[in-house]
Amino acid sequence: MMQKSVNQTKITLLSRSVNEGYARVAVAAFAAQFDPTVEELGDIKTAVSEAVTNCIVHAYGNTIGPIYITVDLFEDKRVRIKIRDKGCGIENVAKAMEPLYTTGGAERSGLGFSVMQSFTDSLRVRSTPGKGTTVTMEKVIKTR
């Protein structure tokens, strides 16, 4: 059964590196309605940073394009974050999700998806080459 969100926000920003900080803080501020711990907020910020950075570095390369962020809050204190781009897409998602795999050159660590996975409760990546990628992450905020 699909649960209906109790609140939602949508943000569209350009794939400029200066917008990564805004994205992480904006998503964390919205999730703060659930009274998360400092650690839970840090997890959300880190996961969002990785996803947005992937859009900036990999999806659009040396061009600028839109990044779409949707955050849904559910009654069970679950935060769902979707980060979508219309960039180059990922040819082989399973390969891209392997630790240390990168197409970004020697200066990239290839740990983006691993970091997203370790800081959230679930991670899904859907991509179509030439059309873009959607990363969906969920984090359940524990009741204190």
Give dist(CA 29, CA 90) in Å, integer. Answer: 30
Say if CB 84 and CB 73 are below 8 A apart.
no
Write out the catalytic residue numbers.
Answer: 50, 54, 108
DSSP string over 27-95: HHHHHGGG---HHHHHHHHHHHHHHHHHIIIIISTTS--EEEEEEEE-TTSEEEEEEEE-SS--S-HHH
What 3 state SS string does 44-59 have?
HHHHHHHHHHHHHHHH
